[in-house]
Chain A
Amino acid sequence: DSGVTQTPKHLITATGQRVTLRCSPRSGDLSVYWYQQSLDQGLQFLIQYYNGEERAKGNILERFSAQQFPDLHSELNLSSLELGDSALYFCASSETGGFSEKLFFGSGTQLSVL
């Protein structure tokens, strides 16, 4: 068990809808990362937060947004969902977001857009 908790584990929704994915980092970790994993694109970096502030941004669509709250949990909001958004979404955390730190990954949220 990595100590990173993601909810829900599975999510099935329809095109055009909006969903929220939740992540609780490992106790004491200040930095949270979001990744999207799909068969054709592999593991794509979306965004990183450190202690509530956005730190790095990857290939995150404008329809997607994220935030990290004062208690350090994070949420990834996906809106106007399309079929192509179906993927496994991972959250990871690290102690301070330092360059040499390893990431601890949650088990992911499997999103299916029908």
Chain B
Amino acid sequence: AQSVAQPEDQVNVAEGNPLTVKCTYSVSGNPYLFWYVQYPNRGLQFLLKYITGDNLVKGSYGFEAEFNKSQTSFHLKKPSALVSDSALYFCAVRDMRNDKIIFGKGTRLHILP
């Protein structure tokens, strides 16, 4: 069955430090992987996606994500965190075989000044 796991409910990072938000997935076919961000009282906003090609994809606001097929992971990263990056981050996977987009439970990122 298709699934997405975000093992950390919350991640705390000091401003200026690198950040990583973890995501692992399980699909029966080739995955389409996405990261979205949700700010308070707002809908989700697209950050980046992996479809095929380079394992390192770059997205909005300086974020990037690394696709690792052997570890079935798609971790979100940023070299230097900003306080404004504090938000709820969702990993999502789309399985070509059943056409559903499944989201993880989300990871709350706190950037400490």
Chain A interface residues toward B at CB < 8 A: 2, 4, 33, 35, 41-43, 45, 48, 55-56, 58, 90, 92, 97, 99-100, 102-108
Q: How far is the CA of A97 from the CA of B101 in the complex (A)?
A: 10
| Residues A99 and B98 in contact in the complex (CB < 8 Å), given A43-B90, A105-B45, A107-B42 | no
A102 to B34, Cβ gap below 8 A?
yes
Q: List 25 A-B contacts (CB under 8 A).
A: A33-B101, A42-B103, A42-B104, A42-B106, A43-B44, A43-B103, A43-B105, A43-B106, A45-B100, A45-B102, A48-B100, A55-B99, A56-B98, A56-B100, A90-B44, A97-B99, A99-B32, A99-B94, A100-B32, A100-B49, A100-B51, A105-B36, A105-B44, A105-B45, A107-B43
Q: Which residues of B contact A (CB under 8 A)?
A: 32, 34, 36, 41-46, 49, 51, 90, 94, 96, 98-106
Q: Tell me, rounded to whole Å, the shortest Cβ–Cβ distance linking B24 to chain A.
A: 15
